Amino acid sequence: MKVLGWLLRLAVFLLIFALALNNQAPVRVHGLFGAQWEAPLVLVLLIVLFAGVLLGMAVMVPLWWRARRAARRDAELPAAAVAAPSAPEEPPHGV
């Protein structure tokens, strides 16, 4: 089963690699104020992917900090606050 998984990964890698080799034509990226940049399509796509990953991580940082702070706060609770709940009380007899 592991061999099949590695073969599938290899096939996906080779497919993406072949796609990258076929898309080396230069593309022109137009910026603001008439700025232009010409580079291979593969390089432009890699830069955009990297920028997206960095932006996603930057958006997640405050959420990670908040979750880490909450976990640290929960870990520092006194033992009395975390004690097991007592058994439920029985109703009085004769009711």
Residue 88 within a domain: no
Domains held by the chain: number: 1
Residue 12 within a domain: no
pLDDT in tens, 35-63: 999 998 888 988 999 999 999 999 999 99
Residue 82 within a domain: no
Give the domain range for residue 53.
21-72
3-state helix, strand, coil in the chain (%, to 5): 65, 10, 25
Residue 4 within a domain: no
Residue 36 within a domain: yes
Residue 91 within a domain: no
- Give the global pTM: 0.56
